[in-house]
Chain A
Amino acid sequence: MQITFGLLLDGEHGWRPTNRLGMPVLGPLGLLNLLETRLGLLRAECAHAQRVTQYRECLKQCDTPDRFYHASFGIDPIGTSASLLSWRDAWYLHGWNGEAPSGAGIRIADIAAVETAARSLLVPSIGERLVRVAEFLSRQQSKIESVELVDPIEAFPKRWREVLAKLPVRSVRSFAPAADANTVLGKLQIALKSTHEGKKPNGKIAWSDDGSLRVVRGETGLVSARWIAQAFASRETEVAIVAEQDRSLLDATLDAVDIARQGLQDSSPLAPALQVLPLALATVWEPLDVYALLQFLSHPIGPVPGYARRRLAEVIAERPGIGGPRWREAIAEIEVRYPDRAADFRKAVSFWVEHPRHNPADGAPVAILLERTRGVRDYFAARLADKDPIRSAASATGFAQASAVAAALDALAAQGESSITPAELEALIAQCTARGAPNFAMHAQVGCVPAASDPGALVEPFDRVVWWQMGAPSLPGHYPWSRSEMDSLARAGTELPPLGDLLARRGEDWLRPILNARKQLVLVLPPPGEEMHPLWQEIQWFVDGVRPESLEDLVTGRAGTQLPEVAHVPLPQRSRWWSVPPEVKISLRPQESYSSLNAFLNAPYQWVLKYKARLNPSNLLAVADENLLYGNLAHRLIDRFFRTDGAQALRGDALKAWFSREFATVVAEEGAVLLMPGRRSDYERLRSALERAIGEIQRQFGAAGIDAVESERDLAGTFPGGALEGQADLVVRNKSGQRAIVDMKWSGANYYQDRLAKNRHLQLAVYAEMLRQETGAWPQVSYFILQASRLLVPDKAFFPEARPVQSGVTGSTPLLWDQFISAWRWRRSQIDAGMIEVAVEGIEQTPESAGPPDALVPEELPEAYNDFRWLAGWED
């Protein structure tokens, strides 16, 4: 076997693929795995998070108040364990013997003390595994014919050097200038190599556009990607690419223009499959995290059956809480709809949603978390064999994450931990998720070229090298240890390379794409304002007069090479009227409500889009909150008040007791967002407002001699357009048998007062007409403003204690209804003629916008509530 080995080659493909057996190109993980396999040292893989958990136990066993990590460990045991584990693993890789030499500081002494526990509890680190490999190589043949190093031997950590000393290392690859020395690129290669070898620069290079060096920059990454895609389309020249940053953007652009994807995917811890477990575990805490539950239920992947998930998510969004009337209705509805799956559904909802929750201060039982984690793991396990390879791969990442968390929780349980806090759980999941997963739908395709995410992984010369988004690179960080600690570690065998050496090494790595370009080097700089790569600054210094070409000039043809033109397609322009072809008939609806009639009259295009085209916004975008939520909760509470036998007669402490009990229940079932941390003032404000509102309703109804109240009263009737339906908040009757409709609004006292004063209370008029058709008499109408505890009426005839709003029009509600019917007929005739008015602010009215004199004049509806404003067209 002939091996090519380099520090940066794991997961890369910065070399030509060839048909060869027994000649692998490997990075550290690849070679370690190969050696352990050959030497019979393989062991079951241990996830990083599991090692963190193991080390946590080691730290815990040794923890005393005088340990340096004591306070940090108390606050963040998982994070502290992960951090200190990375310390000792790095020390071992660089040769630490596991001991604290005399005079070592407290930190080294403490970590060395922890090693007594780690020897039996912790799965070995890479450094420790390399020690074992080196031992075995001393007495066992590796059957490796040769090893070629891509990096100089001194760049390898000590434990690797010890292993390499026992392997047949035949050569170390050197990177020499590959371009013609007479070109700008060739001269640059020689100059950079010489300078990085410590020689003084030998003058500058005069820029000439000989095609060997191109430097381009776009105003946006997308423009750059589009240009690169065009350059890739021509396969005349052999190309290799270096893409350290914004990799997904480049691949998505290649994909969009039908060029083979390179598999340049950025991993993300927020990959869809990796969100499921964190969300499933985020809902175990008290109080319920409503937002997490909505995300869990509305997620496209999840263990609650898909046919039920969305429906339940809708309920959570609209009525945030579990167990309320809407929740129970939804459960019953799903069971009726899927009778053969009802049992499974009930079980899933009970397990994943309606489970007991735990106080964060006490922590959640590890056993419970383990059960849920295994549930997620099993869910993904059942999907590993999905016929769709993308779904199968995504399931594999979810399965791996859940398995790692389950293993870590198992280890905690085995260590005797009975509970875990939210912060610990979050840290544990983060350790198990690490960098996350890529988008599996964007894997590399046949025709992809050699590519490297690290410049140091481009290890062969290519005719053309493209360095995509050559921006500021990540640099090695400072060691977190003091100089005296580093000295002590050195005395314990640890050979940590100085930071200066690491930076110089990175500088060498950056040179590889430059040196490996034979005919052309293309540097794509990031957009202006982003930090430049230090190597680009060097190139600028050397090549006198080199300037980035503007990609905007290139792609628009001003500088010669032009991208194919995309035909301009303007967005639809705004127009006050839409015209429907005669063959398209917009028919009547069998039933209308106040809401639909309001749109029909005032914004016909909204009525057409919403009720005829059935375009509706998602109702999962947000959890109901603030005024919408307060209004919903108020309606529910007052409905319960009037449906509770004897509640209307309650006074004083009895009323307070009823209110306290019922308010708490209603909020828990349908307003749980108010129970979340930080919402106490909102909760108390609502509570105070509703307590006052109920008292005021009692007072007003008492003064009016109300002897019957119907809450959430269904209403039905007819009008010239067909059937009408609706539901009045309250229909009350006084001792004389007269009725009144009370519509409750959370806020907007001035607005509704204005509605009554201007005789535009259409909602009340629609309800009143339906009640008139049922009883033969027009009822009184009123608004009750909950936040202000104010009852608004046209006059005091029915409610003597209410605030009258003088409209100056006798018999106002019947008149309003007649005006509405006239307006409806006018609008209907327009729609029958195929004319739909786009009544939107900013589009001027036309003469056709005015109705007949006896009709209710249309008014613009608030834009904030217009879901279709972007469908009304765009200005030039």
Chain B
Amino acid sequence: MAGTLRFVSAGAGSGKTYRLTQILHEKLSSGQATPGGVIATTFTRKAATELRERVRKALLEKGEFALANAMGQARIGTVNSVCGGFLERFAFEAGLAPEQRVLEEAQSGALVREAIDAVSDSATVQDIVEIARRLGIES
């Protein structure tokens, strides 16, 4: 696998997930890859769920029961969950807090406002407010 980068690009519903499960089956059953060495990310939970289920189903259909069970070791999930897992795994190397959370949209908005407050003083904000008023863009 080292040094190999393969792109599978196709339209919706054309069989990308099917092809992906085929590749996974080939690599896993031939021993070229182990379940713990698989990383697959999707953008939605639904897609991640579907991918996990289809990979297991494909392995079961080939009679690979042990491999299907071992797929619990594969990191298949949304970008948030897989990358969040890596952030936690390497938190000490990165100097981060060991527990990482994905913020809700409202929380991130509040944090942005707090951050703006932290880097601006009242005089600057007063100037901006005055300019906004003159331009009629107060909200």
Contact = CB atoms under 8 A, between A and B. Distances in A.
Interface of A: 68-69, 71-72, 75-76, 79-80, 82-83, 107, 195-196, 198, 200-201, 472, 475-476, 478, 480, 499-500, 503-504, 506-507, 529-532, 534, 537-538, 541, 677-681, 684-685, 687-688
Contacts of A529: 46
B120 A680 contact: yes
Contacts of B93: 68
A478 B71 CA distance: 12
B117 interface: yes
A72 B89 CA distance: 13
Contacts of B89: 478, 480
A76 B97 contact: yes
Contacts of A480: 88-89
A72 B95 contact: yes
A830 to B, nearest CB: 43
Contacts of A82: 98
Nearest to A685: B129
B8 to A, nearest CB: 24
B52 interface: yes
Given A72-B91, A534-B56, A534-B68, A79 B126 contact: no
Contacts of A684: 122, 125-126, 129
Contacts of B70: 500, 503-504
B22 interface: no
A408 B97 CA distance: 20
Contacts of B98: 72, 76, 79-80, 82-83
Given A685-B138, A688-B129, A503 B53 contact: no
A538 B133 contact: no
Contacts of A506: 72
Contact of A531 (B36, B52, B88): B52
B106 to A, nearest CB: 11
Given A200-B63, A684-B126, 20 more contacts: A69-B92, A72-B97, A75-B97, A76-B98, A76-B99, A80-B97, A83-B91, A107-B92, A478-B36, A500-B73, A503-B70, A530-B49, A531-B49, A531-B52, A532-B53, A537-B53, A541-B60, A677-B113, A678-B114, A681-B116
A678 B93 CA distance: 32
Interface string B62-84: 01011011111101000000000
B116 to A, nearest CB: 7
Contacts of B23: none
A270 B49 CA distance: 29
Contacts of A677: 110, 113-114, 117
Contacts of B126: 684, 687-688
A530 B53 CA distance: 11
A504 B70 CA distance: 7
Contact of A681 (B46, B88, B129, B133): B129
A678 B117 contact: yes
B130 interface: yes
B60 A538 contact: yes
- The 6 A-B pairs of least Cβ separation, nearest first, read A71-B95, A678-B113, A76-B97, A83-B98, A677-B114, A531-B49
A247 to B, nearest CB: 22
A475 B74 CA distance: 11
Given A75-B97, A534-B68, A478 B138 contact: no
Nearest to A200: B63
Contacts of A680: 116-117, 120, 122, 125
Contact of B72 (A75, A503, A685): A503
Interface in B81-115: 85, 88-89, 91-93, 95-99, 110-114
Contacts of B128: 681
Contacts of B27: none
16 contacts: A72-B91, A72-B96, A79-B97, A79-B98, A82-B98, A201-B63, A503-B70, A504-B70, A532-B53, A534-B71, A537-B53, A538-B60, A679-B117, A681-B125, A688-B129, A688-B130
A499 B36 contact: yes
Contacts of A107: 92
B66 A198 contact: yes
Given A72-B98, A76-B97, A499 B60 contact: no
A549 B56 CA distance: 23
Interface centre among A475, A506, A679, A681 (most CB of B within 10 A): A681
A288 to B, nearest CB: 16
Contacts of B75: 478
A537 B68 contact: yes
Contacts of A80: 97-98
A392 B3 CA distance: 64
B133 A201 contact: no
A470 to B, nearest CB: 14
B66 A537 contact: no
Contacts of A504: 66, 69-70
A503 B129 contact: no
Contacts of B130: 688
Contacts of A538: 60, 65, 68
Contacts of B88: 480
A503 B56 CA distance: 14
Contacts of A534: 56, 68-69, 71-72
A678 B110 contact: yes
Contacts of A688: 126, 129-130, 133
B73 A499 contact: yes
A69 B66 CA distance: 38
Nearest to B112: A678
Nearest to B36: A499
Contacts of B138: 685
A201 B114 CA distance: 60
A695 to B, nearest CB: 14
Nearest to A500: B70
A80 B49 CA distance: 31
A503 B73 contact: yes
A537 B56 contact: yes
Find the residue from B63, B97, B125 having the highest chain A CB count within 10 A. Answer: B97
Contacts of A198: 66
Contacts of B85: 478
A538 to B, nearest CB: 6
A680 B116 CA distance: 9
Contacts of A72: 91-92, 95-98
A130 to B, nearest CB: 26
A870 to B, nearest CB: 26
A447 B61 CA distance: 43
A198 B63 CA distance: 11
Interface string B27-68: 000000001100000000010010011001100110101101
B135 to A, nearest CB: 13
B107 to A, nearest CB: 11
B98 to A, nearest CB: 4
Nearest to B71: A534
Nearest to B139: A685
Nearest to B63: A201
B119 to A, nearest CB: 11
A173 B110 CA distance: 56
Contact of A537 (B60, B112, B125): B60
A480 B56 CA distance: 25
A746 B11 CA distance: 54
Nearest to A480: B89
Nearest to B69: A507
Nearest to B88: A480
Nearest to A681: B125
Contacts of B49: 472, 530-531
A68 B92 contact: yes
A818 to B, nearest CB: 40
Contacts of A476: 72
A106 to B, nearest CB: 10
A687 B110 CA distance: 21
A709 B85 CA distance: 66
Contact of B73 (A75, A478, A507, A531): A478
Which of B57, B99, B129 counts the most A-chain CB atoms under 10 A from its CB? B129
